[in-house]
Amino acid sequence: MAFELPPLPYARDALAPHISADTLGFHHGKHHRGYLTKLNALTEGPAYAGAPLEEVIVKAWADKDVAVFNNAAQAWNHAFYWRSMSPEGGGAPKGDFAKAVDRDFGSHDELKQKLVAAAAGQFGSGWAWLVLRNGKLEVRKTTNAETPLTETGVTPLLTLDVWEHAYYLDYQNRRADYIATFLDHLVNWEFANANLATA
């Protein structure tokens, strides 16, 4: 049973001008698809037969099966990243999620500053995350394909891809501008709220 590329949750041009149709075309259609193609070739044998993607990630991480881990985690991280953005994104958190943000960060602005610091401070390729850890919101960063899914007691709520392929066509080397645009115009707090509600 092969893993399939999930469709984008919006049209390819829906995030323009903040993220162009060109970027989404390459990022989803080439990079994300590429991870799944490699993952399917690597998991043809019985070791991972029938396992859902999350289980493949946890097992490959524990077994130090680096190639499977990298492609499985990147497949999962990208599907989560698409849903972390919305054409109606940006603005302020609402509802129970807003209360949790105030409780654990003091303010929405403080949360944004922590996400900026994590995303800008990730040296080289990786991801910035908002997670729930033991009932408390935390901001994290991970390197390359690494994902909070491998940590027990940690639930990812939102992510931001800071690999250069996520922004280079639109922002070249200006990662800070991409991060600011993500937080001002694209971030999908409703998705974080929904993940918090089911955590």
Token code pair at residue 10: 């919006």
Does residue 163 bind Mn ion (CB under 5 A)?
yes
Comparing every residue's Cβ against Mn ion, the nearest one is 161
Q: Is 172 left (phi over 0), alpha (psi -120 to 50) or beta?
A: left
State in angstroms the smallest separation of the CB of 166 from Mn ion. 5
Q: Is 126 left (phi over 0), alpha (psi -120 to 50) or beta?
A: left
Within residues 100-139, the interface with Mn ion by CB under 5 A covers none
Q: Which residues make beta-bridge pairs with 132?
A: 137, 155
Does residue 61 bind Mn ion (CB under 5 A)?
no
Residue pair 159/81 in contact by the 8 Å Cβ criterion: yes
Please give the distance of CA 128 from its chain centroid, rounded to a whole number.
7
Q: Which is nearer to Mn ion, 53 or 137 (CB)?
A: 53
State in angstroms the smallest separation of the CB of 98 from Mn ion. 28
Token code pair at residue 31: 């990079």
Q: With contacts defined by CB under 5 A, name the span among 54-62, 88-96, 128-136, 162-170 that binds Mn ion.
A: 162-170
Q: Which is nearer to Mn ion, 84 or 193 (CB)?
A: 84
Q: Which is nearer to Mn ion, 166 or 192 (CB)?
A: 166
Positions touching Mn ion (CB under 5 A) are 161, 163, 166
